[in-house]
Structure 1
Amino acid sequence: MIHAVQIPVDEDRPLCKVAIEGLAGMQAAVGGYIEIVDLTPLQASLVVNEEGKLMRININRRATLLFWLLFPSIRGRDAIVGDALIVGYPDGQGNTTDAPKEVVDLLFETKSYKAEFQTYDDPNKFNGNLRRFEDYFEAANYALLKAQSWTAVQRTRVVPAGDEVA
């Protein structure tokens, strides 16, 4: 059994932590045969329905925002459809592992987020502003819209704002 993060296609349903039992459990969670999409910067993978696009399943906006945020070259060219799972990379025997703790903490334990931008003139530094978001995916949407309109942006990321008051 592995522990994953489920990203429902229906945005009225919140993200949730789920326990998945093997291949059959992953197939049930995404509604069909699975395809694995590596999320290398997060040391994680997305599990999606392999035939989702052929079946004309709706776009999963939140999973797509995450995908586009991590892979700028794919923005506007591909999308994630249907329910998705975030899981960990396979272990040495090829078995799927739990979603990374850092990803789970980011999505479930963080109180506010900010978008940061890396520009072509300073590839060693990320810059942000004072804008804060309570939802990771709204911060991702903001970051992607800014990157689209600001041609100097090379990379974007969403990080904890780190300015919560106790």
Structure 2
Amino acid sequence: MIYVIHAIQIPQDEERPLYKVAIENLAGMQAAVGGYIEIIDLGPLTASLVLDEEGKLAQKPINRRATLLFWLLFPSVRHHDVIVGDVLIVGYPDKDGNTTDVPTKVVELLFETKSYKAEFQTYDDANKFNGNLMRFDDYFVAANYALGKAESWSAVERCRVVPAED
């Protein structure tokens, strides 16, 4: 039986767009990232990044888009760690430990959302995110903006990028 999962490829080369890809097996994942795989769970997205385990040793270039996503979700790694090389986004493993399809909500967020906004959570209100009127056509441009504001505003504890519904 051939086991196929649907994933999103984030090329390191920003001239290349993100694209959906069908991966047949472990060898397919290794080919997509260019080496032995390492998996990083993306928590709130119920998805995982698949990357080349030895990418940094091989001095692969930084994957800025994957790094922005990583930094948005994990503030403690900002400016301490980066993602390199081509990357896949896949779903969490199933009960048998098999990698699953990238969640529909992640596909919708990255491919079907027309406009994005950045939201910020401050230290004085851990239960609420606030935004502004800025809107972006690209998730990663919005992520870069959010991270820049989080760096310059000392009151910001967390930031995120969400669809703009207005």
TM-score greater than 0.5 by the shorter chain: yes
1:124 aligns with 127
1:58 aligns with 61
TM-score by length of 2: 0.98
Q: Indicate which of 37, 40, 50 corresponds to 2:43.
A: 40
Match of 2:127, SS state, is: strand
Which of structure 1's runs of 4+ aligned residues deviate more than 2 A?
none
Question: What is the Cα deviation at residue 151 of structure 1?
Answer: 0.7
2:115 aligns with 112
Question: What is the Cα deviation at residue 145 of structure 1?
Answer: 0.3
1:140 and 1:36 mapped to 2: Cα distance? 22
1:38 and 1:143 mapped to 2: Cα distance? 21
Say whether 1:88 aligns with 2:88. Answer: no
Per-residue CA deviation, residues 115-166 of structure 1 (Å, 9 max, x unaligned), is 0000011111100000000000000000000000101001100000112xxx
2:165 aligns with 162
2:105 aligns with 102
Letter of the aligned partner of 2:145 in structure 1?
Y
Q: Indicate which of 134, 137, 159 corresponds to 2:137.
A: 134
Match of 1:66, SS state, is: helix
Structure 2 spans left out of the alignment, 5+ residues: none
1:48 and 1:55 mapped to 2: Cα distance? 13
Match of 2:105, SS state, is: helix
Size of the aligned set, in residue pairs, is: 163
Question: What is the Cα deviation at residue 74 of structure 1?
Answer: 0.4
Matches within 5 A, 1:5-20: 5-20=8-23
Question: What is the Cα deviation at residue 41 of structure 1?
Answer: 1.1
TM-score by length of 1: 0.98
2:136 and 2:143 mapped to 1: Cα distance? 9
